[in-house]
Structure 1
Amino acid sequence: MNSLLTNILSVCRIEYLIIDQNLKVLEISLGINHFANIADEVKQGEDVRIAFPELEGLEDIFDAIRQGEEDKFELKGIMRSQDPASPLYIDIRITKNIQENYYSHPFIILVEDSTERMVLEQSLFQGANEANLLLRNLKASKQYIDQIVTSMADALLVTTLSGKIKKLNPAAQMLLEYDETELIGQPIAKIIREVNSYKLEIGNIESIDISQNQSINPLAQEIETVCYTKSSKTIPVAFSCSIVKTEIDHFQGYVYILRDMTERKQAELAKQEFLAMISHEVRTPIASVIGMASLLLDSGLTTHQKDFVEIIYSSGNSLLKIINDFLDFSKIQSGNLELEEEPFILQSCIHEAFYLLTPEAREKGLKLTFLDTLKFPTTIVGDITRLRQVLINLLSNAIKFTETGNIEVSVIIHKNAANTNEIQFSVKDTGIGIPRDRAERLFKAFSQVNSSITRQYGGTGLGLAICKQLCELMGGRIWVESELNAGSTFYFTIAASVLPQESAGAQVLAPVQELQVKNSENNCDYRTSDLLKLRILLTEDNKVNQKIALKQLQSLGYSADVANNGKEALDLLEKIPYDLILMDCQMPVLDGLETTKEIHRWQESKFVSGRRPVVIAMTANAMKQDQQMCLDAGMDDYLSKPVMKEKLAATLEHWASVILRVEEISAKEETVFTKDVGLVDFPIDWERLHQLSENNPEFELELLQIFVEDIQSRLEVIKIAIADHDYEQLTLQTHQIKGASANIGATAMHLAAEKLEQLVYNQEPRGGAKLVSELEEFVKRIQEFLVCKDTTDVTNN
């Protein structure tokens, strides 16, 4: 090949071979060996197929080219190097030799480096495959997520950041009764009207930075509320909200998950109704048995008869304790048990538990000891009732399982770095002990060490389970150390604040000392004869309960009239000036709750005494919500049946002293209150206000002034909200007025606000303006009284 052509091929990075018709190598370029299958194998005179085995089997192709039947033949993308770091690909072209010696040199083979092209093609092919695979994965992922969302039992709604609905699943359509097209683009507030009230919870998750970890999906806590369907039904739901943040604005927003709570609420209601039924229907006859037995014990029985009655009395109390255990356990399990946070003297709580169980211990010849290592009376803040319940349970068990010896209680206070202290109690006995492998069974519900325990000692197996849960609710724990036949020591802790001695004296010790002074014979504020003049009406439909209550009252020195239902009670109230009503809740004709509400609706002038009597509930319903229902209905106090004589005596003494104080204060202030302002239908329950202020007239006036200013400003907001149809603001303001009115004793205002709140809840505008006018009139009359009172004070000064 001439030098010019050789140079041109070299510049184009093409090497060549000239071969004869027998495929023998006649001439080669300098770099051809770089492309050979085996280096340095391309030699003149050798068969070209040795260095380029790809040409094997192409003899027919060579003949076709030599005879002019084919112009050329190409082999592309032949790999020479498999090293990924330095790959090598070649293209082989076979064509005629165009030089003069064609007959002796018929073929020329051109070999070109095609590495760059092949690598690029492979990259493109691989990229296309990867893109196709990614697309398939995305489609599969979307299908997978869509199937999950579609199969969800809970309703799911996706909104934009502004709250517009952009997607919902079939469960949401079924729950809300809307088609998807009807909700797309609508605000989420159409479904959950109070959603703006939860902006605080939702706002907390908006501030979370997920840029560092895209797997974070911040979720607001589950909130119980209601949602509204297309047919205007209100459905209780629990909803949670999760924020979606991405780099693309279109894919940002919120995900709401709504869980229909209807069945759960119905189940909870059914459970509460069942427990209420158990509480009332079972406790009522038990109360009668215990009450009658206690009366018989004071009736001069023979020794033989007294033994029988004591068995009835103790068995009734045991049965009542079992029922109370079940009710307590149910309340704890359902999360309805609320702990009080009040200051009390720790030693007093322990002494009260000892006082209750000393007769039982004395009967078995056991010694109860309290090792008081605390130098001074220690005041803590907590729930004295529940702490005493744990102590009584442990002491009662210790007495039950100890035949001889003693029972010892001690307490240690550990100071914590935080504001609370860990208070550790121990109850040590010399009883039968517990095998180590059975100790853990003690704190499980319905479980005892072994079945023989139930047969020999009785019990439900709930006592220690309740103690465990109560301790945990009070921020502590409970455990036991025991040795079989050598006694047991139960330890438990609670977390509580310990008040400094100075503040403790002001908050707790002073009232205790005051009570002691009042109860002493020489320093009683009110004579016993005055207290016993209390005019009492017993409203009770059960004849047995009537007899028990009347007998207890008689033994305490009181007398009472009887009404068999609420209607009879109201009839008697119009004729007789009763000071106090002992009110049963469940009665025929008119129950105790409705009777009490009707008493509150009466104007003061309707009562013979000119003021409302104190109403005390006496009911076998022992659930927390039952007590709250009584207080919500307007009852002043609550006694749970069976009512022990001591508890009844203390309650009557307390309210008798309150009534006497109110009468004295009313007599002193009568001329001031009635001189310039007609208070026949004044909208404030003075008795309630006197109790609230502890008979401090100056504080009462200050309280009324604050009340008037607060309600006036809220009424102005309500007027604006009515004009704007702002139901969220109306709900807030009417609820606040209702609560403030109830607290201060503005009963009529409370009822008006309650009606207004109901109208707002139903979004019913009719009648709202009239109720607002009534509230304004009430406030105006209180304001007139305050002005008149100020004028009177100035004149007197």
Structure 2
Amino acid sequence: MNSLLINILSVCKIEYLILDEDLKIVEISVGLNHFANIPDEVKQGEDVRIAFPELEGLEDIFDAIRYGEQDNFELKGIMRSQDAASPLYIDIRITKNIQENSSINPLIIIVEDSTERMVLEQSLFQGANEANLLLRNLKASKQYIDQIVTSMADALLVTTLSGKIKKLNLAAQVLLEYDEIELIGQPITKVIREVDSYKLEIGNIENIETFLNPDQNPLLKEVETVCYTKSRKTISVAFSYSIVKTEIEHFQGYVYILRDMTERKQAELAKQEFLAMISHEVRTPIASVIGMASLLLDCGLIGQQKDFVEIIYSSGNSLLKIINDFLDFSKVQSGNLELEEEPFILQSCINEAFYLLAPQAREKGLQITFLDTLKLPTTIVGDITRLRQVLINLLSNAIKFTQTGSIEVSVIIRKNKDINRSSAAANTDEIQFSIKDTGIGIPSDRMERLFKAFSQVNSSITRQYGGTGLGLAICKQLCELMGGRIWVESELNTGSTFYFTIAASVIPEESAGAQVLASVQELQVRNSENNCDYRPSDLPKLRILLTEDNLVNQKIALKQLQSLGYSADVANNGKEALHLLEKIPYDLILMDCQMPILDGLETTKQIHRWQESNFASGRRPVVVAMTANAMKEDQQMCLDAGMDDYLSKPVMKEKLAATLEHWARMIFRVEETDILDRTVSTTNIGSVDLPIDWERLHQLSENNPEFELELLQIFIEDIQPRLEVVKIAIASHDFDQIALQSHQIKGASVNIGATTMHLLAEKLEQLAYNQEDRGTNNLILGLEEFVKRIQEFLIRTPNS
């Protein structure tokens, strides 16, 4: 330090220390030893905290001053003499060194005798000492909290009130792929862009919870969102945060906790895939067993044969119900169950449940009664399917556990006056259902088990009556989803009454109107197009592979090809097609899009991935799509998969002929000639009153009556089990199965000339794609009616 400053400080009785960045003494004033804690311990090169232990724990202060975040720091009234007769107190000031070599020796400590002031302010002595102790405790507390934060498995970020990140733990650095220094000072929206959308929500929670508990900060819990990493990945997280309030503004802000949901999402996806597999791979064969058993029961079986088939049928239904319970429970648990909001007639919903279960009640000699009232609303808005599911489950249980007596169902409505209900339910009324039986009753100490998953009153119930213990658990969850609740009152050996409520809007009678339902009569049959004769060319015949899994479609396509002078091999799916392509040099493949094992789109992609050496012909065959989906996007999807051409079902013979000739010219490198003359021919439409386009059928069979009857018989044998599968799929809300089967029915119907059935199946397929089940039963009734008429025609027709 220069001499002028030294003299000024000396006159003012101020001593000083100059420190380097490691807090070691570089320069000492002459009289400083007098103020040291231990005289003669102040030496150059020593750590200043040895001579002045009061500086211990102020490392953060030294750093703040060194980096310009703080101008100075003072310790006042430090006792150096405990002799009451001659006390000695000093003040210590830490500031930045502004002299030369300040970058090397950045800090200066100024020590001043403050005895006179401290004697006058003796009362402040204890406070200064306590402040020093508090600082030590704060340092230890900081280390303690830092260790806890560091050890957290969840990512934690702390921000200022303005949203600037000022601290994050190691888990946050790993999750977000940022180093701590890269995020300090950055806005929280850098990693959670949607954070501002939750401000209003936490503000509402804060107002409510602060009113209820003013000493507790509100916490917004488990909001699923996404965060963004340094490498621009999007990660699903469970996001929660809380506002931190203190009297010091520097210690106010927000604490954010991010829980990585990637593994949970993967587990959920695996669960969904497993459930999808169960739904398709298990329910489909069960549905086939039930469907075939149902057909057998209509075949006039007698005696022991009928008994055996009835056992198969009832066992299949029981197994299907168990699987459906598991799937419904899993869907509700995962939050993937969405309720519909559609108007429906309440009485019809109740009647449907009664109609379904009436045979079981009659078999046991039980009487089921519905206590109707004039106050019962006619039309309400809600999910008729889920309400019916709850009613059927409770009625089924009542029948199961009642040996003699009766079952009564009643409904009452209450106007909603609960001001605490959510806004979504503010305009709804509470509808209460009760199902009263005279059954075995439930012990009072077992009632709490009823609505728990996989739980029944006791193990003997499972052995005697069967079931999974999921039915009432599902009912409870469905009632809660519909804005209500479920409970029971029971007396052992006397009976039980199950109550449940839902929240629903009631439509006034004058505005309810008539329900417009899909019906067979509303579907208009389109006029069939005129057909053309085809004159075959002299081109070499193509070697054709027909890839089609539907037996009716196979028959029709082969018959068309035969009439055009072609023959074809048949593959039932893409895997068989690939196997044949390795052995036989096909020129062209007629490829159906929807097939089991390997569909047409994936098969075509695999054909394109093959090397030329994989094909028996040494070159890739032409792939022509044949599909009942005629929308532009379906055609584009086929072309995107690598198909060369597209034929929409129904495939007319002249269109097929033109396509084959075009590709034959391309394959055999023959120049295009003039377009073939086409002459319109007319064929008499069959006089039989049957929903068949006879002109189409006559053309397919080339006026061969025996072949027409054979096609119709194959058509019926193919469609009937599919309709049974569809009915079971509708009952279990398996829309994928409905779409698959209706697509097959649509394709077969349009090929056979059953145009009205094609329209019905098309409508059913569209409903399945839209996840809608309203109107599906009407469509099935229409399809069954047409099948029945064709069956009656075949029975009446000789040689059928």
Task: Name the TM tier (shorter chain).
Answer: 0.5 to 0.7
Q: How does 1:666-681 map to 2 (within 5 A)?
A: none
- Match of residue 453 from structure 2: 445
Kept in 2, the 8 Å contact 1:159–1:253? The answer is yes
Q: Distance in 1 between matches of 2:522 and 2:277?
A: 42
**Structure 2 unaligned spans of 5+:** 1-82, 87-115, 418-425, 529-546, 555-569, 578-585, 606-626, 640-644, 653-721, 745-754, 776-800
Q: Distance in 2 between matches of 1:211 and 1:525?
A: 60
Q: Distance in 1 between matches of 2:265 and 2:166?
A: 30
- Match of residue 196 from structure 2: 199
AA partner of residue 421 (structure 1): D
Of 477, 487, 505, the match for 1:469: 477
Q: Distance in 2 between matches of 1:211 and 1:376?
A: 43
- Match of residue 168 from structure 1: 168
Q: Distance in 2 between matches of 1:170 and 1:361?
A: 65
Kept in 2, the 8 Å contact 1:280–1:619? The answer is no
**Residues 591 and 527 of structure 1: CA distance in aligned 2, closer, same or farther (over 3 Å):** same
**Residues 221 and 415 of structure 1: CA distance in aligned 2, closer, same or farther (over 3 Å):** same
- Supply the RMSD in Å over aligned alpha carbons: 5.1
Q: How does 1:75-114 map to 2 (within 5 A)?
A: none
Kept in 1, the 8 Å contact 2:432–2:499? The answer is yes
AA partner of residue 487 (structure 1): G
- Cα distance, 1:362 vs. partner? 1.6
Per the normalisation by structure 2, the TM-score is 0.53
Per the normalisation by structure 1, the TM-score is 0.53
**Residues 563 and 656 of structure 1: CA distance in aligned 2, closer, same or farther (over 3 Å):** farther
Of 503, 506, 515, the match for 1:510: 515
Q: How does 1:146-165 map to 2 (within 5 A)?
A: 146-160=146-160, 163-165=163-165
- Match of residue 304 from structure 2: 304
Kept in 2, the 8 Å contact 1:541–1:588? The answer is no
Structure of greater Rg: 1
- Match of residue 269 from structure 1: 269
- Cα distance, 1:511 vs. partner? 2.0
Kept in 2, the 8 Å contact 1:206–1:243? The answer is no
AA partner of residue 202 (structure 1): K
- Match of residue 648 from structure 2: 607
Structure 2 residue 226 is the aligned partner of structure 1 residue 226: yes
- Match of residue 390 from structure 1: 390
Q: Distance in 2 between matches of 1:640 and 1:300?
A: 31
Of 496, 504, 507, the match for 1:499: 507
- Cα distance, 1:248 vs. partner? 5.9
Kept in 1, the 8 Å contact 2:428–2:504? The answer is yes
- Cα distance, 1:320 vs. partner? 0.4
Q: How does 1:376-455 map to 2 (within 5 A)?
A: 378-417=378-417, 418-455=426-463
Kept in 1, the 8 Å contact 2:210–2:216? The answer is no
Aligned identity (percent) is 71
- Cα distance, 1:563 vs. partner? 8.8
AA partner of residue 430 (structure 2): E
Kept in 2, the 8 Å contact 1:202–1:220? The answer is no
Structure 2 residue 487 is the aligned partner of structure 1 residue 479: yes
- Cα distance, 1:335 vs. partner? 2.0
**Residues 328 and 339 of structure 1: CA distance in aligned 2, closer, same or farther (over 3 Å):** same
- Match of residue 348 from structure 1: 348
- Cα distance, 1:287 vs. partner? 1.5
Q: Distance in 1 between matches of 2:439 and 2:348?
A: 26
- Match of residue 339 from structure 1: 339
- Cα distance, 1:322 vs. partner? 0.6
AA partner of residue 200 (structure 1): S
Kept in 2, the 8 Å contact 1:343–1:381? The answer is yes
**Residues 169 and 377 of structure 1: CA distance in aligned 2, closer, same or farther (over 3 Å):** closer
AA partner of residue 177 (structure 1): E
**Per-residue CA shift, 1:163-201, capped at 9, x if unaligned?**
543322111122233322233344444434xx1x44221
Q: Distance in 1 between matches of 2:651 and 2:217?
A: 64
Kept in 2, the 8 Å contact 1:617–1:637? The answer is no
Q: Distance in 1 between matches of 2:758 and 2:321?
A: 28
Q: How does 1:473-622 map to 2 (within 5 A)?
A: 473-505=481-513, 509-511=514-516, 524-525=521-522, 564-565=572-573, 587=598, 598-599=634-635, 601=637, 606-607=647-648
3-state SS, counterpart of residue 511 of structure 1 = coil
**Residues 489 and 502 of structure 1: CA distance in aligned 2, closer, same or farther (over 3 Å):** same
**Residues 484 and 238 of structure 1: CA distance in aligned 2, closer, same or farther (over 3 Å):** closer
Kept in 1, the 8 Å contact 2:293–2:309? The answer is yes
3-state SS, counterpart of residue 283 of structure 2 = helix
Q: Distance in 2 between matches of 1:593 and 1:639?
A: 24
3-state SS, counterpart of residue 450 of structure 2 = helix
AA partner of residue 399 (structure 2): I
AA partner of residue 449 (structure 2): R
Kept in 1, the 8 Å contact 2:479–2:485? The answer is yes
AA partner of residue 149 (structure 2): V
- Cα distance, 1:352 vs. partner? 0.3
AA partner of residue 201 (structure 1): Y
Q: Distance in 2 between matches of 1:623 and 1:129?
A: 80
Kept in 2, the 8 Å contact 1:567–1:590? The answer is no
Q: Distance in 1 between matches of 2:730 and 2:160?
A: 45
Q: Distance in 2 between matches of 1:621 and 1:256?
A: 49
- Cα distance, 1:412 vs. partner? 0.8
**Per-residue CA shift, 1:436-457, capped at 9, x if unaligned?**
2222222222222222222211
- Match of residue 618 from structure 2: none
- Match of residue 549 from structure 1: none
**Structure with greater helix percent:** 1
Q: Distance in 2 between matches of 1:441 and 1:314?
A: 28
Kept in 2, the 8 Å contact 1:284–1:620? The answer is no
**Residues 639 and 383 of structure 1: CA distance in aligned 2, closer, same or farther (over 3 Å):** farther
- Cα distance, 1:133 vs. partner? 2.9
- Cα distance, 1:463 vs. partner? 1.1
- Cα distance, 1:261 vs. partner? 1.1
Q: Distance in 2 between matches of 1:623 and 1:182?
A: 56
Q: Distance in 2 between matches of 1:618 and 1:457?
A: 27
Structure 2 residue 697 is the aligned partner of structure 1 residue 656: no
Kept in 2, the 8 Å contact 1:342–1:383? The answer is yes
Q: Distance in 1 between matches of 2:379 and 2:410?
A: 16
Q: Distance in 2 between matches of 1:660 and 1:183?
A: 55
**Residues 120 and 620 of structure 1: CA distance in aligned 2, closer, same or farther (over 3 Å):** farther
Q: Distance in 2 between matches of 1:282 and 1:346?
A: 34
Kept in 2, the 8 Å contact 1:279–1:622? The answer is no
**Residues 246 and 638 of structure 1: CA distance in aligned 2, closer, same or farther (over 3 Å):** farther
- Cα distance, 1:425 vs. partner? 0.9
- Match of residue 240 from structure 2: 240
- Match of residue 702 from structure 2: none
Q: How does 1:120-139 map to 2 (within 5 A)?
A: 122-139=122-139
AA partner of residue 463 (structure 1): G
Q: Distance in 1 between matches of 2:548 and 2:370?
A: 43
Kept in 1, the 8 Å contact 2:450–2:456? The answer is yes
**Residues 285 and 266 of structure 1: CA distance in aligned 2, closer, same or farther (over 3 Å):** same
Kept in 2, the 8 Å contact 1:426–1:490? The answer is yes
Q: Distance in 2 between matches of 1:222 and 1:498?
A: 35
Q: How many residues align?
A: 496
- Pick which of 217-226 and 142-151 moved more: 217-226
AA partner of residue 293 (structure 2): A
Q: Distance in 1 between matches of 2:724 and 2:297?
A: 26
- Cα distance, 1:295 vs. partner? 1.4
Q: Distance in 2 between matches of 1:625 and 1:373?
A: 32
**Residues 254 and 448 of structure 1: CA distance in aligned 2, closer, same or farther (over 3 Å):** closer
**Per-residue CA shift, 1:559-600, capped at 9, x if unaligned?**
xxx99447999x9xx989x9xx9x677655657999877456
- Match of residue 179 from structure 1: 179
3-state SS, counterpart of residue 443 of structure 1 = coil
Q: Distance in 2 between matches of 1:640 and 1:397?
A: 37
Kept in 2, the 8 Å contact 1:279–1:621? The answer is no
**Structure 1 unaligned spans of 5+:** 1-73, 78-115, 532-538, 547-561, 642-651, 662-684, 695-797
